[in-house]
Structure 1
Amino acid sequence: MNKPGPALARRCAAGLFSLAMMLAAPCPVAAEFALAVSPARFELELKPGERSRQVIEITNASPTSATFGIKTADWRLGADNAATFFDELQPGSCRPWIAIERRELIMAGGRPYRFRFEIDVPADAPAGECRFAIMLEGQEQLTRMASGPPMPFSARLGIVVYAAVGGAAPELSVAGAGIQAVNGQPTPVLQIRNSGTAHGRVGGFLTGTDASGTALEFSPANTPILPGETRGIALGATRPGDPDSAAAIRFPVTVRGKLEWGKGKTHNIEQLFAP
């Protein structure tokens, strides 16, 4: 196996990793790089010795034809929830199991293409999670910044694939709680530990009343917690009946309800968040 190499792309603040599609390129991104992909990510369950064929529908939303390079990459999620992609194989990488149908794709404007890839799990593969990304890369272009000469850049988009092998599953628990700044606003954050063998995400319906007497509803961020990690999960606040508008919180606030993850796994919570 190759030794770890430099990151395939510079880190770009991806916010919460719930996107599962990330631009691993300098911002801004040129208008010519206009792709729509479906599904946004893959979450599969496979057995040792199983071969799985999957399809990504890719649409070039630009009115003109474009050429894209396609490759696989390993990735790592930082403490700030930003992803770093790696071209070279990382320790424990499952990318030798992966085959993609082609490494270059010429797409007419507005036309979809069904791109195929395959995961061939070895018969002796241990229980665990295979994680990788399929990267779509536009051709290098020049873009002019507000000042200075034009700069070359290429935009990349990654579709993340998770494949739980041999019954691998998350095992999540609350390891702590506190208030942290998220997008410049003080926000309740739960520290979630994953002692399982596959990534997990928390969901659930949580409620609370803050110091001003305002009733609030809280939604956990959809950030993945990888095996062996403890990761901060922000609880976004909204007012009942208005789930699309963030609400300011006057602390202290007690959050109650039930966290959910995996297949029917739950955890009751009653947590005070105070400055």
Structure 2
Amino acid sequence: MSARPHSFTPSVAMRSLLLSWGLGLACPAALAQFALAVSPPRFEIRAEPGKPTRQVIELSQVDARPGTYRVRTADWVLRPDASVDFSDDLAQGSCRPWVAIERREVVVSPGRPHRFRIEVTPPLDTPPSECRLAVLIEGKEQAAGPGMPIGLAGRIGVIVYVAVGQVQPALAIVGSAVQQINGQRMPVLKVRNDGSAHGRLAGFLGGTDASGTALEFTAASAPILPGETRDIALTATRAGNADAQVQVRFPVTVRGTLEWGESGSMPVDERFGP
């Protein structure tokens, strides 16, 4: 395991969960895409003070050539549109000092996944709490050989939640609205989290739109962090056909129950639109 990641030199904040790579317009060579697949996209870890917890990230090289990648940690915040801002600066209350990573640089060969290990050890005096960090896997520019394109640097962030002790979300609907999302009007629930851990909504709701069409609704799976209120969009499909996404004709009524956490649930009975 390498030295604790909080010793890294801070740099400017970085945005988005998967950052795109530069276009390299001044270079005449063809450009290769970032060729790494990462699994899982996130960890939700239960940890005990003083006890190490180990996890494995699988890195798969989807190019025919080996890839060289840098690995480090970062803090992050979730924006209203559910994109992520990463930062090298150590945030207040960050648990990055609890984390050790296997190495700072790794070469991934095609044909078999590389198992990259991380270890989380909360201090003995850690009170019940949830903290968050990201493990960033970044590509390195590869020099071009004869007939070979230049490889470009990209970045993937694996989000890590660490729950210490008995912490749980406590979600409640505090409002509703119709919002324009990706060019489409959609019903949105405003959900507040008064708990001590993040939560996600799950389940199906029934509804009927202005044309009398029977619909089913699913809630967006964006995390709702402790102390925040987040807009959660409801996506409509035709009842009995989850693959047939439809454009809702407002007003629409939505009823049912959504679940969260290990045993939490909330009734939903909302009317959206004029």
TM-score range, shorter chain: 0.7 to 0.9
Q: Supply the AA of the counterpart residue of 1:204.
A: G
Aligned to 1:224: 223
SS at match of 1:117: strand
How many residue pairs were aligned?
A: 256
Aligned to 1:116: 117
Q: Supply the AA of the counterpart residue of 1:129.
A: E
Question: What's the CA shift for 1:210?
Answer: 0.3
| Structure 1 residues 70-81: aligned runs within 5 Å | 70-81=71-82
Q: Note if 1:159 corresponds to 2:158.
A: yes
> Is the 1:237–1:247 Cα contact (8 Å) retained in structure 2?
yes
> Is the 2:215–2:239 Cα contact (8 Å) retained in structure 1?
yes
The worse-fitting range, judged by mean Cα deviation, of 92-101 and 125-134 is: 125-134
Residue deviations 1:201-236 (CA, integer Å, cap 9, x gap) = 011110101000111100000000011110000000
> Is the 1:74–1:89 Cα contact (8 Å) retained in structure 2?
yes
- CA change 1:194–1:250 in 2 (3 A) is same
> Is the 1:140–1:153 Cα contact (8 Å) retained in structure 2?
yes
Structure 1 CA distance for aligned equivalents of residues 240 and 12 of structure 2: 43
Question: What's the CA shift for 1:113?
Answer: 0.7
Structure 2 CA distance for aligned equivalents of residues 247 and 232 of structure 1: 20
> Is the 2:22–2:152 Cα contact (8 Å) retained in structure 1?
no
Question: What's the CA shift for 1:27?
Answer: 7.1
Question: What's the CA shift for 1:110?
Answer: 2.8
- CA change 1:31–1:258 in 2 (3 A) is farther
| Structure 1 residues 10-29: aligned runs within 5 Å | 11-12=15-16, 22-26=17-21
SS at match of 2:63: coil
Aligned to 1:86: 87
Structure 2 CA distance for aligned equivalents of residues 185 and 90 of structure 1: 36
> Is the 1:47–1:165 Cα contact (8 Å) retained in structure 2?
yes
> Is the 2:33–2:152 Cα contact (8 Å) retained in structure 1?
no
Question: What's the CA shift for 1:35?
Answer: 1.5
Q: Supply the AA of the counterpart residue of 1:174.
A: I
Aligned to 1:205: 204
| Structure 1 residues 1-275: aligned runs within 5 Å | 7-9=12-14, 11-12=15-16, 22-26=17-21, 31-140=32-141, 154-275=153-274
Structure 1 CA distance for aligned equivalents of residues 160 and 13 of structure 2: 17
Q: TM (normalized to structure 1)?
A: 0.87
Highest CA radius of gyration, 1 or 2?
A: 2
SS at match of 2:125: coil
Structure 1 CA distance for aligned equivalents of residues 237 and 252 of structure 2: 13
Residue deviations 1:154-176 (CA, integer Å, cap 9, x gap) = 31001111111111111100011
Question: What's the CA shift for 1:24?
Answer: 2.4
Percent identical pairs in the alignment equals: 51
Structure 2 CA distance for aligned equivalents of residues 70 and 85 of structure 1: 14
Question: What's the CA shift for 1:246?
Answer: 1.9
Residue deviations 1:128-168 (CA, integer Å, cap 9, x gap) = 112111100001479xxxxxxxxx96310011111111111
Structure 2 CA distance for aligned equivalents of residues 190 and 94 of structure 1: 31
Residue deviations 1:240-266 (CA, integer Å, cap 9, x gap) = 232123211010011000010011211
Task: Give every structure 1 segment of 4 or more consecutive aligned residues whose post-TM-superposition deviation is greater than 2 Å.
Answer: 5-9, 24-32
SS at match of 2:97: helix
Structure 1 CA distance for aligned equivalents of residues 172 and 140 of structure 2: 44
